[in-house]
Amino acid sequence: MADQLATDIIAKIKAHAEPGGEEITTTTELTSLGIHSLELTEIIFDLEEEYG
């Protein structure tokens, strides 16, 4: 279950990351992906909507 959850979260992060960036893992810092506060807020709302 944890692996599937990590995969789902990474997929949501990829949707907001700058295209052509580095591979995203559970240790990737969001700032290195070009994700800023507004995108982070959207990611959090997406996760809250899906997982409560």
**For residue range 16-26, what is the model confidence (pLDDT) as tens digits?**
888 777 789 99
Mean pLDDT for the chain overall: 87
Render the burial of 2-33: b for 16+ CB within 10 Å, e for the rest: eeeeeeebbeebeebbeeeeeebeeebeeeeb
Q: Which ranges of 1-52 would DSSP assign to H, the alpha helix? A: 2-16, 37-51
What integer pLDDT is reported at residue 1 of this predicted model? 65
Q: How far apart, in whole angstroms, are the C-alpha atoms of residue 9 and residue 25?
A: 10
